[in-house]
């Protein structure tokens, strides 16, 4: 396959960025999207051109760092797939592919396709924890939890914090991410002690980071590689309202 890449290049947060065009030839359909970038970067290095900076780690669809906006969609054209699990057979010979970083004021560009997503870390630090001693692995069955509740908590915990929900939202809202992190603990008895404080603090931190408001268009769930449900946003709204009523002084 021969493809044309239009890639966003930006030296740093304060520099002005622009799309630059690269021709990539002899691309195997079995390459992952990131492997294709590896091939391009190897060529750029030999040509004494600075390689394209992009985030990656596990390359197994687990860590969520491989965030790229591909032809106008977070992580590319497939549903339920991260960029690292997207293969070149999803494109056609001769295609032009536009690759950009996440676009959100709360995710400033560090360089090229790399953005600063530490806002998510600060949201988690504000309330995404439990204080109770839950024991070791062998103690897992000491506190029976209904399968329905456990399944919902597990589904919410599948969120990998990649930021695709923010990138897909016209308001750059982080509600799907925050709701998943609140839900995975609110659904379990271990999360009960901090339940009210968690909802209040994490929403407050989300607002402080500059994420936009949710207008329930559903774009976040549609583009989420882990298919996190919009039901979690409804649950977060209930948790936040209940906590606000119980703590009017906050």
* CATH code: domain of residue 69: 3.10.20.30
> Where a domain ends, among 58, 85, 111?
111
The confidence score (pLDDT) of residue 160 equals 97
The confidence score (pLDDT) of residue 225 equals 97
Same structural domain, 229 and 136: yes
Same structural domain, 49 and 123: no
Calpha distance 21→53 (Å, rounded): 15
Same structural domain, 65 and 103: yes
Calpha distance 66→57 (Å, rounded): 7
Same structural domain, 48 and 163: no
User: How many domains does the chain divide into?
Assistant: 2
The confidence score (pLDDT) of residue 247 equals 87
Give the sign of the dihedral formed by CA 213, CA 215, CA 216, CA 220.
negative
- The backbone region for 109, taken as left when phi is positive above 0, alpha when psi lies in -120 to 50, beta otherwise, is beta
52 DSSP assignment: P
pLDDT in tens, the chain (250 residues): 999 999 999 999 999 999 999 999 999 999 999 999 999 999 999 999 999 999 999 999 999 999 999 999 999 999 999 999 999 999 999 999 999 999 999 999 999 999 999 999 999 999 988 888 877 877 777 778 889 999 999 999 999 999 999 999 999 999 999 999 999 999 999 899 999 999 999 999 999 999 999 999 999 999 999 999 999 999 999 999 999 998 887 6
Calpha distance 116→235 (Å, rounded): 28
The confidence score (pLDDT) of residue 168 equals 97
Same structural domain, 165 and 100: no
- The CATH code of the domain that includes 196 is 1.10.1060.10
Same structural domain, 231 and 179: yes
Calpha distance 30→86 (Å, rounded): 10
> Where a domain ends, among 66, 93, 111?
111
Which residue range(s) make up the domain with 96? 3-111
Residue whose token pair is 């029976």 = 144
Same structural domain, 102 and 158: no
Same structural domain, 188 and 90: no
Same structural domain, 224 and 125: yes
Calpha distance 58→39 (Å, rounded): 18
Single out the residue of 80, 79, 61, 97 nearest to residue 88, CA to CA: 97
Same structural domain, 68 and 140: no
Contact partners, residue 56, CB within 8 Å, separation at least 6: 34, 65, 66, 84
> Where a domain ends, among 93, 111, 129?
111
pTM (predicted TM-score): 0.94
Give the sign of the dihedral formed by CA 116, CA 122, CA 125, CA 128.
negative
Calpha distance 247→112 (Å, rounded): 44
Same structural domain, 53 and 123: no
Same structural domain, 189 and 142: yes
Residues linked to residue 6 through DSSP beta bridges, in sequence order: 21, 98
Tens digit of each residue's pLDDT (9 = 90 or more) over 7-64: 999 999 999 999 999 999 999 999 999 999 999 999 999 999 999 999 999 999 999 9
Burial class (CB in 10 A: 0-12, 13-18, 19+), 144: exposed
The confidence score (pLDDT) of residue 250 equals 67
- Asked if residues 189 and 41 have their Cβ atoms less than 8 Å apart, the reply is no
The confidence score (pLDDT) of residue 137 equals 76
């Amino acid at each position: 396959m021969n493809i044309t890449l239009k890639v966003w290049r930006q030296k740093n947060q304060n520099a002005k960025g622009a799309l630059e065009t690269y021709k990539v030839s002899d691309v195997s359909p079995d390459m992952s999207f990131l492997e294709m970038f590896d091939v391009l970067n190897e060529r750029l290095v030999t040509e004494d051109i600075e390689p394209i900076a992009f985030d990656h780690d596990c390359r197994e669809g687990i860590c969520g760092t491989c965030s790229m906006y591909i032809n106008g969609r977070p992580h590319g054209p497939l549903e339920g797939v991260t960029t690292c699990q997207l293969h070149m057979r999803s494109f056609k010979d001769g295609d032009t592919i536009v690759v950009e970083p996440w676009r959100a004021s709360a995710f400033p560009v560090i360089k090229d396709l790399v953005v600063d997503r530490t806002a998510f870390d600060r949201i988690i630090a504000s309330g995404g924890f439990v204080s109770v001693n839950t024991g070791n692995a062998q103690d897992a069955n000491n506190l029976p939890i209904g399968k329905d509740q456990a399944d919902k908590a597990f589904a919410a915990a599948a969120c990998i914090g990649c930021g695709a929900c923010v990138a897909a939202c016209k308001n750059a809202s982080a509600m799907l991410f925050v709701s998943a992190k609140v839900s995975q603990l609110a659904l379990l008895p271990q999360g009960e002690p901090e339940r009210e404080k968690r909802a209040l603090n994490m929403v407050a931190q989300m607002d402080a980071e500059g994420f936009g408001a949710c207008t329930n268009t559903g774009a976040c769930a549609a583009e989420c590689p882990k298919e996190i449900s919009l039901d979690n946003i409804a649950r977060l709204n209930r948790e936040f309202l209940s906590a606000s009523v119980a703590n009017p002084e906050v």
